[in-house]
Amino acid sequence: MKERRLGPDGPMVSAVGLGGMYLSIQGRPDEAQAIRTIHAALDAGMRLIDTADVYCHDHRDIGHNERLIAKALKGRRELVVVATKGGLVRPDGAWKRDARPEQLVAACEASLKALGVERIDLYQLHAPDTDVPFVDSVGAIARLREQGKVHHVGLSNVSAEQIDEARRVVPINSVQNRWNPGDRSPEEDGVLAACERLGLAFLPYSPFGGASGARSLGTMERLAALAQRRGLSPHRLVLAWMIAKSPVVIPIPGARREESVRDSAAAGALDLSASEVAEVEATF
């Protein structure tokens, strides 16, 4: 699998990473199956795993995905960069933003414990909180970095302007926004261009459009036909398209089964020409 750098001074990681969310939210597999999926990702060459404290059922289950990943990585931790996030909460299963500095500090401390580490590889602000000044939230993570609890800092669900605002507070390595064939806003709102200009890793989440989008890719007749001609799944072709679009892109598809994660990982070995990229886009 090809490798890409996780930001200007970050480590090299696989061109495709694993998103951990589906292993811990509603419909999650049992623990043994989840661990087999994570091990399959490692065996397939994935060297980046993305998680969050709120990948769980509700507030009583906070940190489930982080604990699961820590358990799966025992004996193999040095192989992988683990990225997690703070800034959301799960009261009774709802998804709510809470990026107050004191909440972020508490969330980071809990994530350190859940992951079983002294320093988090990449800590990301999960989303700006409209009730909290953005620089206050970023400043809290900057202080965690100064204290040695966070190595690199990332942002999620942000605008190009917020990227610049955050960089005035702390060095930024990555941006994680939604991007898929049905939502190409990072190409239009300047976020992807900003990442390219600054050398930041762009980690598109929901690269298939979520669980429903992943199911519908096979029903997109032109995309499915193009993938079939190349002997690929539509999902692998979409990931290859993303990787070919920009040298800073590192998609992080989720998976519940070993077969899914192996198919996604194989996209990291594909090369698409500019004409093939255009041919894929024409099917969307």
The continuous run of DSSP H or E covering 124 comes out as: strand 120-125
Angle, alpha carbons 174-178-179 (nearest 5°): 100
Q: Give alpha helix (H) positions in the chain.
A: 31-43, 64-72, 101-115, 134-146, 160-167, 185-188, 191-198, 210-217, 221-229, 234-245, 258-266, 274-281
Distance between CA atoms of 181 and 283, rounded to whole angstroms? 9
Distance between CA atoms of 56 and 34, rounded to whole angstroms? 13
Residue with tokens 């989840």: 34
Amino acid at 9: D
Per the CB < 8 A criterion, the answer to whether 158 and 128 are in contact is yes
Give first-to-last CA distance, the chain, whole Å.
Answer: 26
Of 72, 30, 33, 26, which Cα lies nearest the Cα of 49? 72
Q: Give the 3-state DSSP-derived string for 238-261, with helices as H, strands as E and coil as C.
A: HHHHHHHHCCCECCCCECCCHHHH
Distance between CA atoms of 50 and 253, rounded to whole angstroms? 9
Instruction: Read off the DSSP letter of residue 35.
Output: H
User: Active-site residue numbers?
Assistant: 55
